[in-house]
Amino acid sequence: MTSKIRLSREHVLDLLGAMLRVRKFEDKCAELYTQEKIRGFLHLYDGEEAIAAGVIRNLTPEDRIVATYREHGHALIRGVSMKAVMAEMYGKVTGCSGGRGGSMHLFDKAANFYGGNAIVGGGLPLAGGLALGDRMQDTGAVTACFFGEGAVAEGEFHETMNLAQLWQVPALFICENNGYAMGTALDRSESQTDIHQKAASYGIPSEVVDGNDVVAVEAAARRALAAIRETAHPYFLECRTYRFRAHSMFDAQLYRDKAEIEVWRKRGPILRFQTWAMGAGLIHDTDVADLETRIDAEISDAVDFAEKSDWEPLTDLTRHVTAEDRPEPLAPSVPSGETVEMTYREAVKQGIRDAMIRDDGVFLMGEDVGAYGGCYAVSKGLMAEFGEDRIRDTPLSESGFTGFGIGAAAMGMRPIVELMTVNFSLLALDQIMNTAATIRHMSSGQFGVPLVIRMATGAGKQLAAQHSHSLEGWYAHIPGLRVLAPATLEDARGMLWTALADPDPVLIFENVMLYNMTGDIDAKAGPVDIDSAAIRRPGKDVSLITYGGSLYKTLDAAEELAKDGIEAEVIDLRVLRPLDDATIIASVARTRRAVIVDEGWRSGSLSAEIAARIHEQAFWRMDAPVGRVCAEEVPIPYPKHLEDASIPQVPGIVAAVKSALGKG
């Protein structure tokens, strides 16, 4: 034991009671699992209780917690109602996550408990972003992030450590090193098994503590939290412990023998602390018996509550995918009558600039957005105007800084994350899909992510196969996201305004071939609707449906068709998720023919989805099958003539329309 904490009888009973409460709760959960009342993965904290008890009880109510999938102990010690946790284990509507998260995803906004994360290491960037928001707003709060030793092999661990120290965020990182990442021992997976040294290598103050000694953990937590509150800088604790039970209830534990487990059980945190406290005369058998009686009664009440609670009705299936309370539509600005000439690039820049002037909570971060001015010069000059705190250059760590953006948004900031190109966004896909798009649903609406992510997309600049993707259709597949593709100057400038007012994550895809496009725009152009498609050219013979960089090719094709007496209606989708079915179907009902122009690959493309919807909703009004003009099924080539041939061009669009009209 350590002498740095004065242990009163009351404090001893408090610590012991907290650990016993977690242990006995999980014992009951294991029993209920065998009865098939709890399903899915069940990861138990048995043997690690001293870490949560020693750390969390020293946090303030304003501090935030990000946990792992083994988070029952963290939630209970934080003060999340046991009834609500048990009901969540059952999947009942009275659960702390409304029954939507289950064992791995416990959320409680009132407790500032930002949930468990089923993705190993996935919570680290989220925690870093929460702490970044607290630093930028000077709230004085600390974010405590718990994770296992398996997470240190993930890139997100290293990206988070680097950013946390680089940006000096008030975060306490707690590695619960239980020796095994699922079934792989630490020395089988890591060349450096001294984990705290990994954090120290980034310059973060770090220390090792016996994770089975609750007093040692508490002393270390107090030191760490005092340092963070004084400096607002990160701190790292490696708590060495051992889980007595399997990785999850599915685990046969073939990778370790029973003798090893028994050796560690003798060093278990509860047995160790209780034996010491009784030997010191601070507590007695009757005290332990009283604790257990009260805990057993609480568990019994929690089980009874869960058993009697209702299931969420099927009618609620689609709730909390996106925010139910959406802001009132922003009123479009009144035309000033004065126009200015600018490029698409400048329109995007002015949209960002306007947003930052309007709202101090808006900031931009991404690779080279500051001193360099952005890969496509969109943010040139903004750092000089707004400073390095609000125009943040990031390392080349897409998953890390996107996760930081998600965390900052979840605590109330309004970040704009720039991913340099769409192919780089794949490095952040885990954070976008598994956190940004799901946290509202999994928390039953308690947490949202009002984040805007911008990225360049498309081919045409001879950047070859790895820099010429059009993957916006992939993102349009994911529930929980809003996906935009502005093609006009007005949309490039005004969609960002509306997106930043949206309570959910919005992805904006800017086609690389549009940045140099020049046109006139109203000097006081304002917010633009992000719900509906736009008819850019009316017509009666065929509906041409497109978006982004293909819009102007499609308009040119419509001009060519007009020479032959064919009046094509051109629809600019603008919003790829949710699709504006009403505008599409109304147009097709008038023209009775449709051709979709999509720069994405044909197989599994957005064009296929649109064609399916047309056939589902307007089949009997069609005079011809839906046509499609898409990218060829090849990686985009480097030579210009091959690149041009691989993506939609005017002649191909004209030919597809004539074929649909039986004139091909």
**531 in helix, strand or coil?**
coil
Quote the Cα angle for 295-299-303, to 5°: 175
- With contact defined as beta carbons under 8 Å apart, do 124 and 146 qualify? no
Inter-CA distances, 222 with 11, 200, 226, 390, 398, Å: 15, 19, 6, 32, 33
DSSP string, 494-510: HHHHHHHT-SS-EEEEE
Residue 304 CB neighbour total at 10 angstroms? 12
* Buried-exposed string 515-547: b where 16+ CB fall within 10 A, e elsewhere: bebeeebbeebbbbebeebbebbebebbbbbbb
User: 174 pairs with which residues across the strands?
Assistant: 146, 237
Residue 264 CB neighbour total at 10 angstroms? 18
Residue 61 to residue 178: CA distance in whole angstroms: 28
Residues across the chain: 664
Which amino acid, residue 71? E
DSSP string, 21-61: HHHHHHHHHHHHHHTTSS-S-----TT-HHHHHHHHTTS-T
**Tokens linked to 31:** 């029993």
Which amino acid, residue 476? A
Residue 147 to residue 164: CA distance in whole angstroms: 16
Which residues carry out catalysis?
398, 467
